[in-house]
């Protein structure tokens, strides 16, 4: 199993541009999550999904959108990039809630 795969690994955006961070998992996990981690800080939950077709907001959802059309994929969309969205983004999955999370290797995003 590849586990949780995120692409791209690095990206630089200009203010106002849009992009989609991709996340896919091959463990047949129902739950998927997007976190962001600012320098020197812990991870904060942006959005999560408990199954295909179901998404919900986490602690810091503003400026982001998600969709979950399949069990495997959980893309994160930035519509109008802002410097405040410069961060490292981690996708994670788990089989159910209250189960250990498996994380991807992250996407480092800079908005200039």
Cβ within 8 Å of residue 79, ≥6 positions away: 18, 63, 65
Antiparallel, parallel or unpaired: β 10-13 and 107-111: parallel
Shortest approach of other proteins to residue 16 CB, angstroms? 27
Shortest approach of other proteins to residue 82 CB, angstroms? 21
Report the residue from 59, 83, 84, 95 that binds other proteins according to the rule CB under 8 A: 59
Q: Which backbone phi and psi does 42 adopt, to 5 degrees?
A: -85, -175
Report the residue from 13, 21, 23, 43 that binds other proteins according to the rule CB under 8 A: 43
Provide the binding-site residues for other proteins, judged by CB under 8 A. 4, 33, 35, 40-45, 48, 58-59, 88, 90, 92, 97-98, 100-106, 108
């Amino acid at each position: 199993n590849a586990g949780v795969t995120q692409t791209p690994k690095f990206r630089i955006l200009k203010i106002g541009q849009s992009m989609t961070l991709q996340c896919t998992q091959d463990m047949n996990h129902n739950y998927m999550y997007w976190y962001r981690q600012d320098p020197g800080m812990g991870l904060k939950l942006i959005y999560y999904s408990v199954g295909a077709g179901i998404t919900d907001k986490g602690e810091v959802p503003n400026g982001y959108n998600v969709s979950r059309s399949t069990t495997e994929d959980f893309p994160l969309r930035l519509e109008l990039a802002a410097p405040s969205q410069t961060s490292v983004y981690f996708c994670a999955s788990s089989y159910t809630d209250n189960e250990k999370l498996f994380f991807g290797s992250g996407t480092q995003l800079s908005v200039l």
